[in-house]
Structure 1
Amino acid sequence: MGDTSTALIALGGLAAAVTAVLVLRAAPRVTVVVWLLVLCFVPIWVGVSVGPFWSAITLVTILAIVTCSGSIELSPADGFMAAFFVLVIAQYALGMTSLAGAVSAVTEWLIPYLWGRLVLTRVSQEFLFRAIAVIAGAAAALALVEAFTGTNLFALVTFGSDSLASVWAPLQPRGGLIRAEGAFGHSIALGASLSLATAFLLATKWRILVKLALLVVIAAAIVMTLSRIGLVTFVITVALSVLVLPALSRGARLLTAAAGIVAAAVIVPFIGRVFLEAGTEAGGSADYRLDLFSVLQVLRPVGAAPDITGLTVNGDYLGSFARSIDNALLVTAMRVGWAPTLLLIVVLLCTILPIVRRGGANAASIAIAAQIPGLFAVAFITQYSTFFWFTVGLAVSLNMAARRQPEPGGIPQASHFAERLTSPALLPAPTRGGSR
């Protein structure tokens, strides 16, 4: 009887998945909206256990990828990402890294990256940017309600993984206030994710007053996370957008910069008071992140580092970091080795380097560039990890699209010169007496 019921449940799940794929394939905009809603409003501990635990956002991301039928032009970043994937799978097969490390690399980094590369084959850039801005704005508004009421409705959700819920559901106090975290399970994850969304908001074609209104809501929500990382990455995102985002007019740049100065005059004193009241908790948090670099001495080129619980190396006790490593690049190197981590760093460089080229910036590359300082202070956690690597994949797609277009004011390619030189309009007109 038990085997029959299990088979029926599996059959029902398969039928539901096929139906979902058919529906989402026929409605690409619905696919994107559903993915963003799950990203921003479904906690990471909600999902199913089939072998490993599959979170809701991972399942929806896979469904979104399956609905894609368009082709993309491959880039060097794709090659480095593929090499990272092969190395991680090989390490797991050889017993050099854990199942958790391999699954995390595939489900939280590679799969969202692939969806980011494919999403523009399904919807337009403008629709995607607007959808991100609207849904992120809604998440920010809900975070403000949470901050002022002291109640997080998402913490009451119990369906899914109890172990993950025990880690991410509890709320975090700081300076006598509860830090807003929304459905992201951590205030830093919410703040960093809203910072990512800010670049897309500023790149929309909405009127500047609409952008500023949503920008204020997002900024206020990031402030209520009481996260220095969220605030710093938000400021960098806005500053880079004002400086290099092609979509902004001169008036929009001036208004955004002016709004930022006014906001800073209000926010800085408030944040200063909160961190002053937080006292040793906030200071200890900063010192801990600096001390993390002592873990570098146990890294291996490939494969997971040794268990650091109770480990002392050259007089440094590393066991205090065994529970949590708040450094995305360092924890990646701890799980799979520093050589695969270098591949990910190269992918990030491929993503952000076009910013330095005139007209080469785009919303996704700006969003990732602004996150780089934060990677040294937070791990790839909860939905932030998914949103970050989705944005990396999207930035690669936008960079590839920009390379196919002539640079504004740039020098024509050699083929264009040849075409112009052989144009009849540019050849010397024959004289009446013929050529000499």
Structure 2
Amino acid sequence: MSKLEYLVYQNSGKLNDSEIRVIQFIINNAKACKGLSLAELARKLYVSRSAIFRLCKHLGLSGYNELKFYLNEVVQEKEQNNISKVVPNNFDANVIKEIENLHKNFKVLKLDEFYNELSNAKHIYIYSTGWIQQMLSDYLSHELLLFGISSIVLPAAVSELEMVGKIAEKGDMLFIISYTGNNKEINDELGKFEMVNNKLRYVSFTDLKQNKLASLSDHNFYYPTVKFSSSNDVSFILAYTLVDFIINKFGISLVFGKKKKVIKMVSKINNFVISFLDRAHLDTKKILTAYINALILIPLFFGCFIVLTSSVAKQNINIVLNDTPLIAIDMIVALTDFIMGYYIWLKKDLILKYEGNYHFLMFSQAISQLMVGNIFCLILALFGIIRINEQTGKLKCQSNFIKVSAFIFLTIFGFCLVLTISIFIRK
């Protein structure tokens, strides 16, 4: 309160209504009034100069000049108050700084065990200690659901924790989101769990300070809070960011884990096949010889079977092929295999001379035989690929002739596959 305002308060009983309105206007517009002469102020307020002079006397002032002196004091005080009301806005900078620190600290965390337990947990419970933490619980539950992990968000009541302690199974996880981590009632309840049910795995989310809850937990995560510039309240935006960091890395670990399992399974199959080939004494040359025999002999046996069937049925082969389009397609495949077997037999030395030729041939043949469903030849081709991959040489095909022929046979088999599919669709 300025000196002038104090004088008004002290002498308010001496002022009439008109004088109160005048002095209120002068104080509220001190900056505009302090530079006016007595006559100018009187004209502005539509009062006489003597009225303003009497007002000064009622306030205990010697005259108008002393009033102007105190008006200057009012102006200075207001300007000082306005300066003090300017609040520095460091919130944005603080948030960015804390996110960088949070990311730096998160990167060094070893979370393999935590993610493994999270993936295998049969039940996941999320408990929070306040309404802001409750919203964070809902967010965490939603993010887990993105990866097919359902969770139960518990109401903020200690009785709910007691119930979890009674029904929890081995491997279940309990997430506890707390600001301070020093809620005695909750910490005491967790202490009881250890005595009656040690099956639960505890995960705590607390502010970046030492606390009792973190010491009780199997896994603990700390989130910093940032004060708002205009109040002592804090923002929990970094808690949500921490949840996103955790969930993002969990998703990556799931993808990596699946790839790792696939690679491990493929490696086991590959080692099993190599072991089998070693016991059977099948090298690349023997596999190629077996493949040639299969390509030549299987079509011959198939042709003999068709001739025999038509003879028994006393039907002309042309009629059989015309009535049964699938057999006609199989005949095309058999003839193509026979020609390919003969071609490989002629080029056997060239194929075996360069590892790249061998690999390209077997790879193209594996695709061809897969398209027409010739499982036996497909297996032999895969055996050849596995064997040649053990070599250390370059696997680039050196013969354009082999490339062209492989492309031709792939085209024929692809055409046969399309015909077969179209027949099945029509049926």
TM-score normalized by the length of structure 1: 0.20
* Greater relative contact order (CA < 8 Å, ≥ 6 in sequence): 1
Q: Could you tell me the TM-score, scaled by structure 2's length?
A: 0.20
Larger gyration radius, structure 1 or structure 2: 2
